[in-house]
Amino acid sequence: MAALGYIEILDGKGSVVERIAVDSFPVTIGRAYSNQVIVSDPFVCPLHLKIAQHEQGRLLASDLDSVNGSYPTAGKESVTQWELQSGSQFRIGHTVLRYVSVDHPPAPTLVDGAVKMSLLASPYAAVISAVVLVLLLCLDGYLSSFERVTVAQIISEPWVTVSMLATWAGMWALASRLVVSRFNFAQHVTIACIALLTISGLGVVAEWTEFFLPRIPMLWIAGVFGYGLVLAGLVYGHLGAASALRRRSRLWAAAAVSLVVVSSSAISDFAARSKFSTIMEYSGVIKPIDAAWVPATSVDEFFGSSEKLKSELDKLTKKAKASH
Amino acid sequence: MNRLLAACALILWLCVIPIIRASQAQPVPGTTPEIFKQFSEYVVKIEVVETGSAAKASTGTGFVADPSGRIVTNYHVISKLVHSPERYRIDVIDVAGGTTVATVLGVDVVYDLAVLRTARRPKGHLDFESKPVEQGTRLYSLGHPHDLGLSIVEGTHNGLLKHTLYPKVHFTGSLNPGMSGGPTLTQAGKVVGVNVATEGNQISFLVPAERAIALLERTAKVETPAAAGFLADVGRQIYDNQSRYLAGMFDAKTPRVVLSPYNLPTRPTEFFRCWADAVRRKELPYVSVTHDCSTDDYIFVSSEQSSGIVRFFHQLLSTSELNPARFFTLYSGQFQGGNAAMFGNEEEVTPFRCQTRNVATANGKLKAVLCARQYIKLPTLYDAVFRAATLGSRNAGLVSTLSLSGVSFDNVQGLSRRYMENIKWQR
């Protein structure tokens, strides 16, 4: 018997995970093995939904008094009965399904090469970003040394970072394979490279800012905020390639991970700061630039502001006396 | 004739024997055994005892310095009690082993002296030498080195040290830890100085007797020590002293040294010592030239604090090989690292607080850092480090550091300012 249509089980991004041919109506959907469409979702009832054909071939979906209800496309309210159009999605439990009739027009065929792939997913992007990263790491290694170095030394330096990055991307690729059945290795490599490049860019900006404007208080807070954003972006990107989570869930996950990491490092930083130490901590970045470009305060201002230093020390002394 | 000679010889013999016998039994006056025998009873051992554990925290020596039985010793021997009177007591142990508890009547922290009193009445005391002592005069120092028992050390008087902040007698003899506070005597038993420090190899120092006399006079009327302790007094003495010796330091008349193209301050007064060095190694693509000056002398405040140390350090870095980015990695690293720590503990000092600015001086622009910390028990005093790096050049730079300990905040600001203004260079 020729199929009348198909029920498709979709993942979070709308890709078909499973396709079941419908030979006759009515069709029942649920967890029970007596159904034509069996959905292994614990939030779906054994007998959850029935699709039946009415006059003039109209299809009606009816909720079979399920615990969690049935939701037509984009609907937030559960509906007991609605008319099912070919190609329309609906949700039962945590599973999204779609019905398509055999005469449903398929999407036009894509011409190979004419469609732009997501830039992130392209293997070229991965190669280019990795090469840029390696070159930058070499340059950084060279500029941050002041002893005589050979080309071999400079080239050999970034490989620790690169292999760590490859391992990181590989772990995410493995997770992707398990969750969305694709490795997406190139995409993970690109995302990690972009995050590292952004962090080193932020580092450069931070150093120059510190050099030009050493008096800006709480510059480190801006730094922490910047790193937090990069971390959130990294998690968001990886989750996009490794899961079927919706955009909003990914945002929440990224924000949560970033918040946890940033706040725990801020707390340990604060704990280290409030511990007694005989070490002088000061920002001492100096950059090779013509002195005319450097904003500077007068000698009077410098020693005038040292009064603040004195009152800060007075407070510390009072605190120490009170605690002894 | 022969009989007469024999009789004379016999008489002479009979006269001499008792003298020889007597000299075998009795030390000849003025010899070391005699001095030890005659004066050791006025020398006492001083122990600072931690009252909680009844264990001694430090030991030293002292001597009875006047008829009323007051004892002179070093401030550093009893400084623990001054800083934490509730935790320590002073035991004075005489030659016979008798122990009495002592109270502090007064201290001179600058010259490292203290005057104590015990309840016991002494049998006698040591006198101070009132006449000038010539260089080369034989001296005898008494004390308890390493708690090994009372010892006597011979040495010579080598005059007052010329280039020190505080007058000190140069004593060529071996003083050892534990002898601090003991007397150094002439052959006649007169005190010329109080044992205070050693630099090893028979180079030792004494506090001149007149400082001890002055402290005894100053404390003559003190019957009962001030209940508030001496800490405030210690703070005041150091404060007054640093105001005196730092006044005018690094003014316009300061001698200068040229580390081309920089023209920098050097040896501001006679009590500084300066050294210079250069690192030009083939394997290094840069050259480092250093010029380092520091005061010889310091004031002992407590076991972890000292006052009066002024040290400054110029480091000129230059390269003809490194590009500006790589040279500035080195330069920045030198500015941020290196001797950026001082001794100290939480009970005595606050942590450091620093400020960094780019500063435009009359000579050009500098990256300047001022770090300071306060003494918790002596809050008029601070330790401070001022560090500056010249800006603008692409292949040369100067990092200059001034560090001060135990000075007022006014002096932190004033000295750092004059020091900064003394860093000159050709652009």
Q: What is the CATH number of the domain that holds A36?
A: 2.60.200.20
Q: Is A293 on the interface with B (CB under 8 A)?
A: no
A217 interfaces chain B, CB cutoff of 8 Å: no
Which one is predicted more confidently, B248 or A50? A50
Q: How many CB atoms neighbour CB B149 within 10 A? A: 9
User: pLDDT band at B419, cuts 50/70/90?
Assistant: very high
Mutate to test the interface with B, among A144, A286, A298, A319 (most CBs of B within 10 A): A286
Residues in chain B within 8 Å Cβ distance of A148 = 283-285
Residues A97 and A128 both lie in one domain: no
- Domain assignment of residue A293, yes or no: no
The b/e string for A150-161 (b: 16+ C-beta within 10 A; e otherwise) is eeeebeebbeee
Q: Which of A145, A286, A305 sits opposite B391 (nearest CB)?
A: A286
Residue A188 pLDDT more than 80? yes
CB A93 within 8 A of CB A41: yes
Q: Are residues A129 and A254 in the same domain?
A: yes
* Residue A53 structural domain: 5-101
Query: Is A317 at the interface with chain B, CB within 8 A?
Result: yes
Partner residue opposite A145 with nearest CB, options B326, B328, B344:
B326
Burial class (CB in 10 A: 0-12, 13-18, 19+), A226: middle
**Which of the given ranges, A292-301, B299-308, B330-339, B341-350, has the highest pLDDT on average?**
A292-301
Domain assignment present for A9: yes
Residue A296: pLDDT over 50: yes
The answer to whether the Cβ–Cβ distance between B284 and A147 falls below 8 Å is: yes
Q: What is the mean pLDDT of residues A98-122?
A: 79
Distances (CA, A) of A18 to A38, A89, B297: 10, 14, 88
pLDDT category at A323 given cuts 50, 70, 90 is confident
| Range of weakest confidence among B119-123, B126-130, B321-325, B357-361 | B119-123
**Which of B 276-295 lie inside 8 A of A, CB atoms?**
283-286
A-chain CB neighbours of B391 within 8 Å are 286, 289, 291, 294
Are A83 and A214 members of one domain?
no
> Nearest-CA distance from A166 to chain B in Å?
29
Instruction: Look at A56 and A198; give whichever has higher pLDDT.
Output: A198
Ramachandran sector of residue A67 (left: φ over 0; alpha: ψ -120 to 50; beta: rest) = alpha
pLDDT band of A279, cuts 50, 70, 90: confident
Residues 114 through 143 of chain B touching chain A, CB cutoff 8 Å: none
According to the CATH classification, is domain B245-425 in 3.40.1000?
yes
| A296 domain residue, yes or no | no
CB contact under 8 A, A284 and B367: yes
- Boundary residue ending a domain (A67, A101, A135): A101
Domain final residue pick, A257, A274, A291: A274
The answer to whether residues A140 and A69 belong to one domain is no
**pLDDT category, A179, cuts 50, 70, 90?**
confident
Q: A73 pLDDT band (50/70/90 cuts)? A: confident
pLDDT digits (tens, 9 = 90+) for B225-264: 765 678 888 888 988 988 888 888 998 889 999 998 899 9
d(CA B312, CA B275): 11
**A76 and A220 belong to one structural domain:** no
Contact B329 A145 (CB under 8 A): yes
Question: What span, in angstroms and rounded, lies between the C-alpha atoms of A193 and A133?
Answer: 7
**A38 and A147 part of one domain:** no
Tell me whether residue A303 is in a domain: no
Residues A50, A134 within the same domain: no
Nearest-angstrom CA–CA distance, A58 and B260: 96
Looking at the structure of chain A, the number of domains it has is 2
Q: How far is it, in rounded angstroms, from Cα B139 to Cα B116?
A: 25
Q: What is the rounded CA–CA span in Å between residue A274 and residue A316?
A: 11
Looking at the domain that runs over B32-229, which CATH code has it been given? 2.40.10.120
* pLDDT range class, residue A74, cuts 50, 70, 90: low
- The verdict on A270 and A131 lying in the same domain is yes
CA distance B129 to chain A (A): 45
pLDDT attached to residue B307:
82
Nearest to A36 by CA among A83, A70, A3, A85: A3
Residue B92, pLDDT score: 93
Contacts of A142 in chain B (CB under 8 A): 326
Is the reported ipTM for this assembly greater than 0.85?
A: no
